Amino acid sequence: MYRAPVREMRFVLEELLGSASLTASPLLSDYSDELAQSVLEEAARFAQSVLDPLNRPGDTQGARWTADGVVTAPGFREAYSQFAQGGWPALGSAPEYGGQRVPQVLGSAVGEFWGSANLAFKLGPMLTHGAVHALQLCGSPAQKQQYLPKMVNGEWTGTMVLTEPQAGSDLGQVRTRATPEGDHYHLFGQKIFITWGDHDLTANTIHMVLARIDGAPPGVRGISLFIVPKWLVNADGSLGSRNDVRCLSIEHKLGIHASPTCVLAFGEKSGALGYLVGEPGRGLEYMFIMMNSARLSVGSEGYAVGERAFQRAAEWARTRVQGKPPVAAAAGPAPIINHPDVKRMLLMMKSQVEAARALILYTAFQFDLSDYGPDEAGRKAARARGELLTPIAKGWCTEIGNEVAGTGVQIHGGMGFIEETGAAQYLRDVRITTIYEGTTGIQSNDLIGRKLAKDRGVAMGALLADMERELQTLATADAAVEATRRAALEAVGWLKNSTQSLLKALAVRPDTGMAVSVPYLRLCGYVIGGWLMAKSAAVAAAKTSGSDREFYAAKIRTAAFFAAQVLPVGLGLARVVDAGGASVVETDAALI
């Protein structure tokens, strides 16, 4: 059974980040640690009692395509009804449309629980939230009034409709066309890989579609964003006739079988009616509002599935009796958690999940500071840091999720390769997270091309300076915490040197820099994770007495393990970055 890590989450929010400081903003005056705890505990109950029991059946039975529409896995409609009735779609949305304003960092924390308990279910509300956010920022007043209230209360869902068969991740090749007629457009084209593009959970689905207005220029400058509802909406808010959009099929995937990934056809008849969002030609700009929100959310999904894989592996290791450890307390077989290598693998899983959690929530917190901080300069700096960290958080945390889920299978041994134990599902489900919303390579290109090179390393330099300063002044008398601090500080030096090496390469030979962009992104993840783990250990060292002493002792030991056996991976990555990508770019493709 899944156990939502409420205490772990509270530690990061309350003690590591100090999210209650956001109450200084009048917009968040009602927020408090107590409110956050209440939300987390209720979210944990829903995740554990409603979503987790559907995870395995949803995997085995999956969503089903019919000519009349997609039928979701048994139990999903009832679960979504409870989800909406509980007010969860409203969390984090604007109050004027029925939402509950809370910090993004709390929404990210709750999202972890959904992702751990049932990733296939979680994907639908995640995309709706992104569509709501885009409409709040870019939609007209009439569009907001017509669509947002029912999306915010969960009565309708939303999608993000980008990809086409010939385009893939290159959105400049989008061919779906939009023909103007009066105050609306008729859309014609086909889209693929549309998550929750059709389903039976709600009465309507609001598609956010990229298309090219007739006569628009080629490339990304000619792309616009359109609202295309599954069912047309009358002036009074009631549903009218069915729009000319149809699900042709759903994909047969490696994992997340209960999440319908759809092929959608727009305009098989007279054209799907769509309504322009904002200005023509700015569709990609508007879509990136949704995409950047989704990237951070997908990052949390990576480590969230890793958390669930860790819990199952730890339970297996405590109950699976096999072999005699080298220093067993008693003769005969013992639970495998007593074997040194099994213990090492569990610590590898646990420490990396904790580091990833801290990174995701720290990144979300930067966006909260950019929205609710007390001064303009601080808000601007926080926004720059959040944007810098987004590709790192998305890329590294999903790669870690894959590694952790794979280790979970290994701990199960041969039984991990058998579907009945459940370990394999996490490995299959999490695999998509390194691909969703841009592969790790796309994230790393964004990191060094749009973030690092754009400001010549200013935002990264500020982060490195803060990490170095905090680690140099981190006072502790605990030997384990001191060793963790020193290791994290040394790692910051690796990243500082590699950043300078990469900036030099980008200035002279950009392709050699691009060839080591993924190693650089991974290096960033390990080093920033090490810094946050060292800070966590220092916080825990000051609180080792009282009823929570075992919790804090575990934080110190987990951080010590990360510093000793995980963080050194960064040194190898730093050497790769420093050496540059000549071995890649100087190899003719014909020789591969």
Do residues 332 and 428 lie in contact, with contact meaning Cβ atoms separated by under 8 Å? no
Strand, helix or coil at 162?
A: coil
Instruction: List all residues 6 or more positions away from 90 whose beta carbon is below 8 Å from its beta carbon.
Output: 98, 99, 100, 152, 153, 154
Any idea which residues carry the catalytic annotation?
Answer: 437
Closest CA to 402 of 359, 361, 440, 458: 440
Strand, helix or coil at 322?
A: coil
Terminal alpha carbon distance of the chain: 46
Tally of CA atoms within 13 A in the half-sphere of 209 that contains its CB: 35
Largest CA distance in the chain: 84
Angle, helix 283-319 to helix 104-117, in steps of 10 degrees: 50
Enter the tokens of residue 49.
Answer: 């009692």
Angle, helix 104-117 to helix 340-372, in steps of 10 degrees: 150
Query: What does the alpha-carbon distance between residue 236 and residue 280 come to, in Å, rounded to a whole number?
Result: 27
Query: What does the alpha-carbon distance between residue 447 and residue 395 come to, in Å, rounded to a whole number?
Result: 10
User: In degrees rounded to 5, what are phi and psi of residue 188?
Assistant: -135, 125
User: In degrees rounded to 5, what are phi and psi of residue 30?
Assistant: -90, -10
In this structure, how many other beta carbons lie within 10 angstroms of the beta carbon of residue 252? 8
Enter the tokens of residue 107.
Answer: 């929404």
Query: What does the alpha-carbon distance between residue 502 and residue 581 come to, in Å, rounded to a whole number?
Result: 10
Single-letter amino acid code for the residue at 512: T
Single-letter amino acid code for the residue at 261: T
Instruction: List all residues 6 or more positions away from 492 whose beta carbon is below 8 Å from its beta carbon.
Output: 464, 467, 468, 471, 527, 531
Closest CA to 305 of 196, 397, 413, 389: 397
Closest CA to 12 of 117, 108, 88, 118: 108
Strand, helix or coil at 357?
A: helix
DSSP-assigned beta bridge partners for residue 266 = 189, 245
Would you mind telling me the total number of residues written for the chain in this entry? 592
Query: What does the alpha-carbon distance between residue 125 and residue 252 come to, in Å, rounded to a whole number?
Result: 21
Tell me the CA distances in angstroms from 385 to 1, 324, 381, 418, one per residue in order.
Answer: 37, 50, 6, 43
Query: What does the alpha-carbon distance between residue 130 and residue 14 come to, in Å, rounded to a whole number?
Result: 26
DSSP collapsed to 3 states, 409-432: HHHHHHHHHCHHHCHHHHHHHHHH
Closest CA to 90 of 55, 137, 39, 45: 39
